[in-house]
């Protein structure tokens, strides 16, 4: 796989940060759980929640709009807006995919980090003005 440039990694981080903001949701009948983590919907094998901390475990698959994220485990903290994905992490949308061992994101600041990551992104030419 090709090595991603810092610009492409920043774009992928922004996509995942956007993925983790807003949206009403229901996860396996648990109203508000995926919303607390910032997704439209999530599927997982097991869920734990204690006060401001939640964990989705086992074949985690979450969506926000056209973007999907997959991991073995997703943890979130509602007080700090931190989301941590671990184990076979993959972020995929129409034009990019990034895979990592671990990803950490703050859904409020929209900043995050992929650890041991690789991926690809389609880069379009800059649009030209019809007035030129």
pLDDT in tens, the chain (132 residues): 445 555 555 455 545 544 444 332 333 334 355 666 777 888 899 989 888 899 999 999 988 888 889 999 999 998 898 989 999 999 998 888 999 999 998 877 778 899 999 999 888 766 666 665
pTM of the predicted protein model: 0.68
DSSP letter assigned to residue 45: S
Output the pLDDT for position 34.
60
Q: Are 89 and 69 in contact (CB under 8 A)?
A: yes
User: In terms of Cα–Cα distance, which of 64, 68, 117 is closest to 88?
Assistant: 117
Q: Are β-strands 67-77 and 46-50 bridged in parallel, bridged antiparallel, or unpaired?
A: unpaired
């Amino acid at each position: 796989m090709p090595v991603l440039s810092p610009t492409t990694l920043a774009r992928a981080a922004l996509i995942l940060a956007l993925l983790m903001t807003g949206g009403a949701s229901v996860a396996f009948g648990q109203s508000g759980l995926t919303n607390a983590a910032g997704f439209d919907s999530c599927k997982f094998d097991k869920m734990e929640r204690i006060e401001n901390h939640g964990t989705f475990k086992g074949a985690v698959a979450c969506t926000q709009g056209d973007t999907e994220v997959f991991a073995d485990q997703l943890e979130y903290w509602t007080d700090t807006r931190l989301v941590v994905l671990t184990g076979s992490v993959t972020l995929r949308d129409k034009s990019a995919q990034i895979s990592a061992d671990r990803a950490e994101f703050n859904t409020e600041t929209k900043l995050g980090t992929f650890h041991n990551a690789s991926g690809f992104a389609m880069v379009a030419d800059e649009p030209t003005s019809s007035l030129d």
